[in-house]
């Protein structure tokens, strides 16, 4: 491909994926709710509600799962891109 080696082609492809994963990760982190509840959580205490029990199946739970997967992909791609081959 235009006089490039296979390693250069793979590196360019991984850089594109790396950029897309970084953008997606930024958007997902900004979409998540804050973890601290402030003064209202201190006064009312921690209530075991339906929302708290089923948080893993909610949209927030899915955002957390996707964020974890993208963080792992981001780190792995960063490691691969730093290998000299």
Q: What pLDDT, in 10s, does the model give residues 24-52?
A: 999 999 998 877 665 555 555 555 565 55
Segment holding 60, helix H or strand E: helix 59-81
Q: How would residue 73 be classed by pLDDT, with cut points 50, 70 and 90?
A: very high
Q: How would residue 7 be classed by pLDDT, with cut points 50, 70 and 90?
A: confident
- Residue 55 φ then ψ, to 5°: -65, -30
Helices (H), 32-58: 38-44, 50-53
Segment holding 8, helix H or strand E: helix 6-31
C-beta of residue 81 within 8 angstroms of C-beta of residue 18: yes
């Amino acid at each position: 491909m235009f006089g490039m080696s296979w390693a250069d082609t793979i590196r360019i492809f991984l850089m594109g994926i790396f950029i897309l994963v970084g953008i997606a990760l930024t958007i997902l982190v900004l979409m998540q709710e804050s973890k601290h509840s402030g003064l209202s959580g201190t006064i009312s205490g921690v209530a075991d509600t339906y929302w708290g029990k089923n948080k893993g199946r909610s949209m927030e739970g899915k955002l957390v799962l996707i964020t974890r997967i993208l963080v792992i992909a981001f780190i792995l791609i960063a490691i691969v891109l730093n290998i000299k081959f």
